[in-house]
Amino acid sequence: GGCSHYCLDQSVGFLCSCPANMKLVGDSRCEEVDSCLESDVCDQLCVDINNSLTCKCHEGYHMNASSGECRANGEEAQLVFTSSKGIQLRNAESKSLAAYLPGPGPVAVVASNLTLYWAQREQGSIYRISVNKKPHEAVLVVRVQGSVSGLAIDWIHQLLYWTSPEKGSVNVALLDGSAQVQLITGLYDPSAVAVDPLRGLLFWAQCGRSPKVEKSSLDGSSRTDVVTSLIQQPVALALDMTRQLLYWFDQRMRSISRVSLDGRHRKTVVESNGYLDRLFGLAVFEGFLYWGDEVTGSICRANKQSGSNLQVLMSNVTSPGGVALLHPVLQPHGLSVCGRPGMTCQHGCVVDLHPDGLRFSCGSPENSQVPGIFSTAPAKTLPDATYAGYLSLIMFLAVLLVGTALWWWREELRPSRSLTLPSFSLKESREPLIVQPPSGSEADVGPGNPSEVGLGR
């Protein structure tokens, strides 16, 4: 039959079954059981030792003693969303930015310099604004033909990705809007995009003919399907990098689901609950999913593992659009690859964006500080166990060489000779170049009136 493992004959037809350490997915395919994902008891890291699960938190987080949840260190995160009043920022002191640029649309952030990027959905215009600068100046970064349905930022390589439904493409530009290029073409109504620069992965969704979620390397190569079945109209994507999971919202099915980055371990997390009628933006932070629902005019959140603990953070929001969380822990500058999985560089990663496409290559000490269209990313260091093994081998060889030299000196009664071993060093890669924004025209910013319901944690 069509079973991936075991096939059981029945009086009418057959049934598929799986080994003890696997489960049946669909009608015929077996998949390994991940006890951590099956149980969903851990917010982030999960270690399974003899069927006993231990939870841990990533760097930049701490575990809450009472709840066992992983909380971000430092200040409270800021909630960013777009609406008919423009782009708004929600924290302890609510404020509205660029209220003179109304209209819901996708939004993305750069945590390192507190810069927000958003698009007027139907205008084909992408803007940026600095949270810290006063007066707030909105700068037009990209103007494209047609509309912009999704935005994502690669904060490591300083790149801006967006989806264009009319062009059927995923596009990329530098953060200042220069050197634009169509990266992925031939799509049917692409609706959302997400990027994981640490692992060198780009994700996008299309909700037209043959709806699905796909992924590729950051340069558009190695294109692969992630979700192709039981999906009808995916309109929003969000990455939980702490657990290596991808979430998407299906407009027609009114549900939020997730899979691992390779497309396995699928689970429906939130189903129609009265606040999933017309969702546009989706984000993940700590133990929650965040979204805005246009029909109810609300900004909501729910548990990212089970969909429980639904909370309406803000109500009476006119046409909420994109949603994002602003916190440094969401954009770490840790171990990363150069453009595609498996490619690492000792002297940083050089990004070359030109009309023919996007290229990544390893830099050299001489060009690692070249400005302009180049960007550097940290090189991936060796795992602790591997590094320890190499170090032990080097020490053993050093002792062996020194011992050989001493034996030679004693036996042959020759003058002592010195043995100089080559020194080994792992040069630290440099931080990514921060592209300085061009000066924009000043504009007045009107105050907004977001609801006074607290974000909470």
For residues 329 and 189, the answer to whether their CB atoms sit within 8 Å is no
**Residue/partner pairs of 32-36 with CB below 8 Å, 24 or more apart:** 32/264, 34/260, 34/265
Q: What are 297's two structure tokens?
A: 């005019």
Whether cis (ω within 30° of 0) applies to the bond prior to 19 is: no
For residues 418 and 401, the answer to whether their CB atoms sit within 8 Å is no
How many other β-carbons are positioned within 10 Å of the β-carbon of residue 112? 13
Instruction: Determine phi and psi for 385, rounding to 5 degrees.
Output: -65, -40
**Residue/partner pairs of 306-309 with CB below 8 Å, 24 or more apart:** 306/40, 306/269, 307/256, 307/269, 307/270, 307/271, 307/273
CA neighbor of 151 nearest in space, from 118, 182, 180? 118
C-alpha torsion angle, residues 122, 123, 126, 128 (rounded to 10)? -100
* DSSP conformation class of 166: T
**Residue 110 and residue 331: Cα distance in Å, rounded?**
8
**pLDDT tens digit sequence for 391-403:** 555 666 766 776 6
**pLDDT tens digit sequence for 258-282:** 999 999 999 999 998 889 988 889 9
How many other β-carbons are positioned within 10 Å of the β-carbon of residue 444? 8
Check residue 445 and give its pLDDT: 34
Q: What separation in angstroms does the CA of 79 have from each of 76, 140, 173, 370, 390?
A: 10, 22, 25, 35, 45
Token match 């030299």: residue?
A: 405
Q: In tens digits, what is the pLDDT along the chain, a chain of 457 residues?
A: 578 778 887 777 778 888 877 777 766 778 777 778 877 889 999 988 777 889 999 999 999 988 889 999 998 899 999 988 888 888 755 556 655 566 789 999 999 999 999 998 778 899 999 888 776 788 899 998 889 999 999 999 999 999 999 999 999 999 999 889 999 999 999 999 999 999 999 999 999 999 999 999 999 999 999 999 999 999 999 999 999 999 999 999 999 999 999 999 999 999 988 899 888 899 999 999 999 999 999 999 999 999 999 999 999 998 898 999 999 999 998 767 898 888 888 888 999 998 889 999 988 876 544 433 334 333 333 344 444 454 555 666 766 776 666 666 565 554 433 323 232 222 333 333 223 333 333 333 333 333 333 454 5
Instruction: Determine phi and psi for 147, rounding to 5 degrees.
Output: -110, 170
Q: Which domains does the chain have, with CATH numbers?
A: 1-33 (2.10.25.10), 75-330 (2.120.10.30)
* Full DSSP string of 122-144: TTTEEEEEESSSSS---EEEEE-
C-alpha neighbours within 13 Å on the C-beta side of residue 415: 1
- Answer left, alpha or beta for residue 160, where phi above 0 means left and psi between -120 and 50 means alpha: beta
